[in-house]
Amino acid sequence: MTKLVQWLWVLAILGSTWVALTTGALGLELPLSCQEVLWPLPAYMLVSAGCYALDTVGCHVATFHDCEDATRKLQSQIQEAQADLARSGLRF
């Protein structure tokens, strides 16, 4: 089973559970406060997923290491290549 099919299964199961609970199809008498928590849950899941994504991106942006040596080496290599090509007659 591919990852996509797995995700769709999980979504289908959770979605049908939520629909069954909110429409009262199971005949359960949930207290009013529980019903109030239940019906915005899909939106809540989406917002939390978005927040988690933003959080991960923020953490990785803040902890990304600058590679000083690699930068210097790359820049010197670029200058070498430019000088070489200019000598061979290529105009920039």
Binding site for other proteins (CB under 8 A): 32-34, 36-37, 40-41, 43-44, 46-48, 51-52, 54-55, 57-66
Task: Say how far apart CA 44 and CA 34 lie, in whole Å.
Answer: 15
Nearest approach, Cβ of residue 58 and other proteins (Å): 3
C-alpha span between 23 and 60 (Å, rounded): 42
Q: Closest CB to other proteins among 55 and 80?
A: 55
19's CB contacts (< 8 A; 6+ apart) are 25
**Measured from the CB atom, is 15 or 85 closer to other proteins?**
15
